[in-house]
Every structure is written in C-alpha cells, then in structure tokens.
A and B are shown apart, each in its own frame.
Chain A
Amino acid sequence: MARENRWLAALALLGGLLFLSPALYSIAVSFQTAQSYYQGGFDPTLDNFIRAIGQYDFARYLLNSVIVSGLVTLIGLSLATMAAYAFARFDFPGGNLMFAATVATLMIPSHITLIPNYLSLARVGLLDSYAGLVLPAISNGFAAFFLRQYIKGIPRALDEAAYMDGARPIQVLWRVIVPIARPAILSMGLFIFIGEWNNYIWPLVAVGREDLYTLQIGLARLYKLNPGEGAVDWPLVMAASTITILPVLAGFLLIERHLVRGITMGALK
C-alpha cells in the first residue's frame, strides 16, 4: 500500500515536471545572454529583464494588463454574482428566458462577436481606450451560469433565516450567499482573470496605441521587432514571457487554497 503510494507520488511528480518544463525552460533562458544562448554555455544576466522593461516598455504593458484584467474580473464577477443570485433565487417575468439566453451565449464563439463588438465600440468612440478593452469582456455567461448552480446548492432556508432576522435581499446576497459561495466566486474570479490576462485577439483588434498595449500584444510585437536581423532574441522574449506569467502564478499561489475548495464543492455543511 505504502509502496504503491510512493510510486504514484513519483509518477505525479514526473507529470508535474513535464507540465512545468516549458515554463522552467523559458525562465532559465530569460536569464541568459543572447550570445551564450546561441553559442552554448551559461552566462547569467538580468540584462534581458532590464531591456524588456527599459527599452520595450513592458512595465507599462504589465500595468495595462493588471488594470484591464483586474477591472474585467472585478466588474464581471460582480455582475455574474448578482445575476446568478437573481437566477437562483427569484422568480421574475422573463427570468427563465433570460437564463436560457445567458446559457446560450456559451455556445457563441468569441470570433463571431469580434466584429460586431468592434463596430459598436467604434461607433461610440471607445476604441483605443481602457473602456474599449474592458467592456466587451464584463458580461460573462459562463460565470453567471456556474455561480447560479453553486448558489442553488445553498439551502434556501439560510436566505429565509436571514429574512426573518431582518435582512433585505441585497443583504442576504452580501452577508450570507457571497461568504458561503466564496470558494466558487474566487475560483471563478481566477478563471476570468487568467482568461482575460491571456486574451490576445480582442486587445489586438481594439487597441492601436502603444501605451494601451497589454502584455500579450507587447510579447507578440517582440518577434516582429528588428526586422531583417534574422535571429529572434529569444532570451529577451523569454524574459518578457516570464514577466507575463509571474503575476498570474503569484495570484494562483495566493488563492490556491480556496480554489481547491471551490472545485470540491458540496463541502458545505
């Protein structure tokens, strides 16, 4: 039994390393000089990071990514939670239809909405702005659906107890439902954040101004810099990649505990 467990653990560790290896490799490369990267050997340096931030403005891109992903997560999660609460707890005219429509949005590929979104934002003059980056992403059908299912699993008697205690619906949501659904909400928040952080197409389409670039756009641009010089400066690209993944990694480690609890739902008692 114990022996079996050790084998399993070794296997899991191997699998984990396999998943991690590209990231580890890119981090390793990011600390090399271009010369040693192409000629072999190892010559540790921070120069790639200094260049990515100093020369190519990655600090700005990082800030943009944090602002955009942060706003999308915050606003999107709030809207989704309120919608989920309404869908889970209240009967209102058209409620079922609205919920069906919400679920239906899951089946529409984002590429189909790309052009309509672009045209509507162009019409109201919101391209090339933070609002243009944030607005199309804040309505999240999947989050509303997922949280509704979770909230439906919370005994309605808790709502009723709160009503008897004198709470208004919004207080029930804020003081009872949200704390209990916190693991699910945090997990959802992380998914939204990562999704937006890695979003490439929309920022590419919606933004032309360099000072509004997000990390993903900046990263893609690095390949196209220095045309004609032939070789890509991979250590520089890897340093930029490292800047791109580190915040997400840090965020994950920060709420990983809750995330695991969110996925093993039903631990509610």
Chain B
Amino acid sequence: MSAITLDRIRKTYPGGPQVLHDVSMDIRDGEFIVIVGPSGCGKSTLLRLIAGLESCEQGEIIIAGRRANELAPQDRDIAMIFQNYALYPHMSVRDNIGFGLELRRVPKRERIARAEAVAQTLQLGPYLDRKPGALSGGQRQRVAMGRAMARDSSTFLMDEPLSNLDNALRVEMRTEIKDLHRQLGATIIFVTHDQTEALTLADRIAVMMDGHLLQFDTPEAIYDRPATQAVAAFLGQPPINLLPAMDLPGWQGPSGCVVGLRPETLTVHASRPAGPAIAGRVTLSEMTGAVLVLHCDTDAGRLVVAAPRSALPPGAGPVWITHDPGKALCFDQTTGARIETPVRAPASRVQAANVIA
C-alpha cells in the first residue's frame, strides 16, 4: 500500500502565481523520497501541503488510505524537520524533544525516558538541559531530528534540513539520516535543492521545476534516462553538455535534436584519434581530486569534460574530444523531451551493451 498519494495537486497563492500544476505522486511505505528542484519550484510548498500547513484548491492528498485534505497537521501523524530547525528557544533540549509527547499526554516519566533515549541515539546526552541558544548548528539540527523521532511517526518530512550546516557536517548528517532511515523504516520525504543530497539519499527522486513534476524515478534512472533536457541539465556535477546534433561530428542519431553529453562520458585525447572527434583546446582545468574537470573551447562550442588526471600530459596543446554514443542523450529541440533512440555507434567505438534500446 502506498503511504502517501498525491493526486493532481494544484495550488495557487492568493493574488500570486500558480505554484503547483497538477502534481501527482505515489509514495510507498518506507520509501526515502527526495524532492529536488531549483528555488521557487514549489517543492517546499508541496511538502507543506503534505504536512497540512498549507491547503490546495484542487487535488487529493491521501495519507494511509484516508483522504487528508481537511485534516489538521496535528491529526496527520507526520513529523517534520524545518530548515531553520524551529526549536523552541525557551525549552531545554529534553523539553524540545519531549514536547510532542507531552501534547499527546504521555506520562511524564515515560516522556522523559523516551526523550533521553532519543537524545542518546543522537549523541545529545550531555546537552539535555541546555537551551537551543547554547548549542552549535549541528547540535540544533540533531535536536530537530530528535524532536521528530521521539514521536514514532511513520512519516518524516524534511525541509532542506542540511542547508544551514557547513560542508563537513552536512556530509556527516547525510550519512546519519540515511542510517536513521534504515533503522526506523519510516517513510521520509526530503526536500532539497542540492542534487548531491538527492542522488545519495533517495530511493526515488522527484524533480520539480516551475511547479511541475518533471520526473519521479530512481536516482539511476533520472541520471541515465532523464525525462527532459531540463532534468538532465539540473542533475549532474559538472553539468551535462548540451549541443545541437548537427555540431557533433559523427552523430548518427536523429538530426535536428539536442544532444546531451555527460562530462564523464567524454574522452579527451592529446593527439587526433581515429574516427570522428571534436577539436578544441583546454581553457581551464580544475583539479577536483581524482578527476580533472576540463573546460574546453571546441568547434562545437564550450564542452566540459571530466577526465582522469592521467588523461592529458601537462602543457598539452590542442585536444580532441570523442564521445561514447551509447551514453549520449537526445532531446527534442522544441519540447525538450528525451527521444528514445537506438543509437548506431560510429565504427570505432562500439559498446553494444550501453546502447539504449
């Protein structure tokens, strides 16, 4: 059974633009869903609709098999973690975590025991008596998680919970949230604009733009088979190269489309290879660790290539770039939708296994 179903949700702010256009989604029990998109795409609004903090003028929200449109947030049995944590500044960590239990009339002794157990799990034991103001950003974030966990909800909503943390802490908390999901087995709906978070955390990713749900699928599917050019451009770091098919030497797919080439599917050569290749020169080389990100000015425009560090000898002159036709993506020029194409590979680089069928 699906935990949460959204059926053609439409939302317009009074006197404002329409922020959600017929968004439908089926979220299964225990799934980790990440809703990702640029700011203003409606992802937070969608989350708040599920929470019950906003209402929609059209569409249905079904939670655990029951229509929930009219249910108040406190009746939905959903826990939520806010971007700025929204901890109660006048309460200690213990009371912050236990507040939800107190409102549910859990006896004091049990409440405190549970709050302290949750705090232990989150390594907040030493801070139980502190107020949020006396905690670091990471600790506040944990308290916010603890507050949601203490209640034993079956569903957690997280609104960019990691965006206020510094990078190291963000990576650490990302792992912890993933662990937590495994332990709790709860349904998690996580909103972020950070594609790395989306790709690393999600069982399934929902990509949203301008109030439309563009694609809802596994991270692999979204990365390898993006529904539209916009999805392809949004996910992937460094971003995908998009160029008109006619500019690509040796292109055998349908003409008149836009070809998307992921930087890591391109190969850079210091000398002209056999077969079709794009000639150009490296204008900027970024060292990112194991991988070099090369920005190249080529006959086909600017291309970004992710290459192993050994790919080019230092001080190389002109370069030639070849692509893996089996991994090239093809988008309709006008609609941006991806065109499924059996790509005929150029003679020199046949990789039948990767050809999209």
Contacts and interface: CB of A to CB of B under 8 A. Distances in A.
Contacts of A180: 88-90
Contacts of B46: none
Contacts of B53: 160, 163-164
B133 A165 contact: no
A168 to B, nearest CB: 7
Nearest to A158: B86
A209 interface: no
A164 B51 contact: yes
Interface in A134-164: 155, 157-158, 160-164
Contacts of A165: 74, 99-100, 103, 147, 151
Contacts of A182: 90
A166 B78 contact: no
A166 B79 CA distance: 9
B73 interface: yes
B155 to A, nearest CB: 11
A6 interface: no
A164 B73 contact: yes
B13 to A, nearest CB: 12
Contact of A164 (B74, B88, B89): B74
B68 interface: no
A146 B104 CA distance: 33
B74 A157 contact: no
Nearest to B147: A165
Main secondary structure of the interface of B (DSSP, over half): loop
A176 interface: yes
Interface string A92-134: 0000000000000000000000000000000000000000000
Contacts of A167: 74, 103
A171 B104 CA distance: 12
B80 A164 contact: yes
A182 B99 CA distance: 19
Interface string A19-45: 000000000000000000000000000
A56 B74 CA distance: 59
A179 B90 contact: yes
Given A157-B82, A161-B82, A163-B53, A171 B89 contact: no
A251 B90 CA distance: 24
Interface string B314-352: 000000000000000000000000000000000000000
Contacts of A224: none
A2 interface: no
Chain B interface size band reads 20 to 34
A166 B103 contact: yes
B79 A164 contact: yes
A160 B104 contact: no
B103 A164 contact: no
Contacts of B89: 158, 180, 268-269
A155 B72 contact: no
Contacts of B82: 157, 160-161
A102 B99 CA distance: 34
B84 A155 contact: yes
Interface in B79-111: 79-80, 82-84, 86-90, 99-100, 103-104
Nearest to A171: B103
A161 B74 contact: no
A182 B90 CA distance: 10
Given A155-B84, A158-B86, A163 B73 contact: yes
A73 B72 CA distance: 34
A167 to B, nearest CB: 5
Contacts of A163: 52-53, 72-74
A166 B90 contact: no
A165 B79 CA distance: 7
Contacts of B90: 179-180, 182
A50 B217 CA distance: 87
Contact of A168 (B74, B78, B151): B74
Contacts of B99: 162, 165, 175
Interface in A160-200: 160-168, 171, 175-176, 179-180, 182
A158 B83 CA distance: 11
Interface in A217-269: 268-269
A161 B80 contact: yes
Contacts of A164: 51, 53, 73-74, 78-80, 100
Given A157-B86, A165-B103, 13 more contacts: A157-B84, A161-B86, A161-B88, A162-B88, A163-B52, A163-B73, A164-B78, A165-B99, A166-B74, A167-B74, A167-B103, A168-B74, A180-B90
Interface of A: 155, 157-158, 160-168, 171, 175-176, 179-180, 182, 268-269
24 contacts: A155-B84, A155-B86, A157-B82, A157-B86, A158-B86, A160-B51, A160-B86, A161-B82, A161-B147, A163-B53, A164-B100, A165-B74, A165-B100, A165-B103, A165-B151, A166-B74, A166-B100, A167-B74, A167-B103, A168-B74, A175-B99, A179-B90, A180-B88, A269-B89
The 8 closest A-B pairs by CB, nearest first: A165-B100, A157-B86, A161-B86, A166-B103, A179-B90, A163-B73, A164-B80, A166-B74
